[in-house]
Structure 1
C-alpha cells in the first residue's frame, strides 16, 4: 500500500507498507481522502518539532471515509465522512482523569509520535472519529486546525469589549481569530507579512492590523488602537521565541498571554515585564473532543467559512516536489491540502 514518509530532515520518501488488518474492537478502518499541511508538519519536515522522531508517516489534519468498523463501535458506520481527532490519550493518567485529554501524560499524536494519514488507509480508534453528513473532505481536514484555535481562544477567554490581539496570521492564528470574533472583543492582529494582513482584512473584515517591523512602530499602533490601554488578552501563534518573549510588552494590566505556537528555544524576558502588570502566562496544547463537535456544527450552520483557507493543492505524486515550497513564506501558502485518495 502506498504511503509517504518524512525519512529524515527535509526529505519526503514514497514507501510501500502492508495494508492494515481488519479493525479490532473499538477500531475503524478509514481511507484518507484529504490531508491538510500545517505548521507542525512543516516543523517536523525541517527537524524543528520537539515531539517528532524520524522516520514517520505524517498526517494529522485529515478528512477520511470509514471503510469498516470493529466490534462495539456505534458512533460511526461504513461510508461515514469524518474528521479525525488525532490525540491518542490513555484515559487513565492524572490529566485524563481530570478531562484534560489534550495533555495526557502518555499522549501519542498520529502523524507526529506515531504514523499518520499520508497513506491510502489506516486503523484508528473509532472514538476519535467525528462524522458529518454535510461537510466535504476538504472541510473535514480543516477541523483539527480550527480545534487548535478554538482551544487557544478558550484559554485566552477574551470578554466582550476587551481589546484582544492575535500574533501570527498563519493557519493557527487564523483559526484562533475564527473563535475570537464570536466573543465580542475588539480584535487586533499582527504579523510581519503584509500579504497575510491583507488576507485578514479582505476575508475577515478585521481593520485593526499591525505590521511588525521591530522598530517600535507596532507598539505605537497598539496604543493608538486601544486608547493606550494595550491588550487584555494576547494569543501568540508564531512559535518564534523573539515574538513570544516580546509579547508581554503588549499586555494590559492583569492581562493574559497564551502561547499556542511551539518552539524548542528558550523564551526570555525580564521578570518586571511580567510582574508589573500581574500578567498571566498560559499555554494551549492540542484541543478537546468537544471542540471538534462544536466546529463541525458551526461549519454546517455556515458560521465558519473555510473557502478562503485552501490556497495550495497537491496530490500523492506532486507532493514530493511541492512540499519544500510550503516551507517558504514567499509562496503565499495559508493552507495546502493533499489529495490522497479520490
Structure 2
C-alpha cells in the first residue's frame, strides 16, 4: 500500500509499506481524507518539539471500516468514522486520574509514533468514533476542532467575556469558533492578513488585530478593551515565545491565559507579571473522548459548518491550493510550508468510500 513518509526534515516521499495486520480488539480502516496538522508541518520543517525520524505523519483523518469484529459500540464494516489518535500508557499518575490526554508517556499518531497517512491502518476499536453521517471531509476536521475545543473549555469562558485568540491557523480559528459558541466576544490576531480576514469574515468574529508590531498590538488591545484594560481570556495557538508574551501582556488583571501552541524555543520574561495580574495560566494538551463525541454531535446538528475551515477548496493555484490527491503529497507539504500565509487547513484525499 502507499504510505507518506518524512524520512528527515525538509523531505517527503511516497513509499510502499505492507498492509497492517489486524490484531485482537482492532479494526482495519481505509483512510479517506487526512489533514496536514501544524505539527505535521513542523515535523517536515524540523521545528516540532515531539518529532522523530523517519516518521509517517498524520493524525487528523476520516476512514471507512473495512474489517471489524463484534463490539459493544455499534461499529460495523462500511461505516465512515474518525478516531482518537492519542495513545496513553494507562499506568502513569495522569492516566490513573483519568487525565489520559496528558499521559506522561503519550504517543500521538504522526508524532511520537507513526501516523495515519497510509492507504490502510489499524486502530483499537475503543478509539473509533461513529461519524453519524458526517461527510468524510468534515470528519477529517473533527480532531483539530477537538484540540481547540479542549483548550477553550479549559478557559471557562463566560457569556460576554472578551476573548483574544492569537493565531489564525487552523487551531486558532477553530478556537475562536469554539469560544464564540460558548458566548465569548472573540477577537483574533495574526500576521497573515489573508487568513486573518478570512477568519474574521467567515466566522463572524467581533474583530481582528494585525500583529505586525508590538506597538500596533498594544494599541489595538487598548482600543478594543477600553476600561477593561485587557482581555478576560487570551488563547495562544501559535507556539512562539513572542505570542505567549502577547497573551501575558494582553490579559486583564484576573484574566485567564490558555496555551495550546507547541514550540521548541524558550521565553525570558518578567514572570512577576503573573503574580501582579493574578493570572490563571492553563496548558492544554490533546483532547478527550468527550470532546470528539460532543463535537461530532455539534457539527451534525448544523451549528457549525466545519468545512469552511478549508480555504479555496477548488483552487489549483499552488499558493492557495488546499486539497490534494494522495500522489500529490510531496507538493502538499512543500506548498503548505512555502505558502502557509494563504492556506488554513490543507487536506489530502486518499480514497472515496465504497
- TM-score between the two structures when normalised by the length of structure 2: 0.93
Alignment of 1:212-231 (within 5 A): 212-229=211-228, 230-231=230-231
Match of 1:101? 100
Match of 2:8? 8
1:52 aligns with 2:62: no
Kept in 2: contact 1:246–1:269 (CA 8 A): no
Alignment of 1:1-342 (within 5 A): 1-21=1-21, 23-70=22-69, 72=71, 74-229=73-228, 230-311=230-311, 312-329=322-339, 332-342=342-352
Q: Secondary structure at the match of 2:327?
A: coil
Offset of residue 121 of structure 1: 0.4
Unaligned runs of 5+ residues in structure 1 are none
Kept in 2: contact 1:165–1:189 (CA 8 A): yes
Kept in 2: contact 1:26–1:73 (CA 8 A): no
CA distance in 2, matches of 1:215, 1:92: 45
CA offsets 1:87-117 (integer angstroms, 9 cap, x no match): 1112232111211110112211111111111
CA distance in 2, matches of 1:330, 1:13: 20
Kept in 2: contact 1:162–1:185 (CA 8 A): yes
CA distance in 2, matches of 1:160, 1:268: 34
CA distance in 2, matches of 1:336, 1:175: 14
CA distance in 2, matches of 1:338, 1:328: 17
CA distance in 2, matches of 1:133, 1:72: 17
Deviates more, 1:286-295 or 1:223-232: 223-232
Aligned length: 341
CA offsets 1:24-75 (integer angstroms, 9 cap, x no match): 2221110101000110110011111121110011110010111111465644
CA offsets 1:245-269 (integer angstroms, 9 cap, x no match): 2321111111111110011110221
Match of 2:315? none
CA distance in 1, matches of 2:89, 2:75: 21
CA distance in 2, matches of 1:59, 1:5: 10
Kept in 2: contact 1:163–1:186 (CA 8 A): yes
Deviates more, 1:287-296 or 1:271-280: 271-280
Output the aligned Cα RMSD.
Answer: 1.5
Distance 1:110 1:330, change over 3 A: closer
Unaligned runs of 5+ residues in structure 2 are 312-321
CA offsets 1:147-187 (integer angstroms, 9 cap, x no match): 00000101112211221110001000011112101222221
Deviates more, 1:233-242 or 1:140-149: 233-242
CA distance in 2, matches of 1:329, 1:219: 28
CA distance in 2, matches of 1:207, 1:154: 20
Kept in 2: contact 1:64–1:81 (CA 8 A): yes
Offset of residue 223 of structure 1: 1.6
Kept in 2: contact 1:82–1:132 (CA 8 A): yes
Kept in 1: contact 2:141–2:307 (CA 8 A): no
Kept in 1: contact 2:68–2:77 (CA 8 A): yes
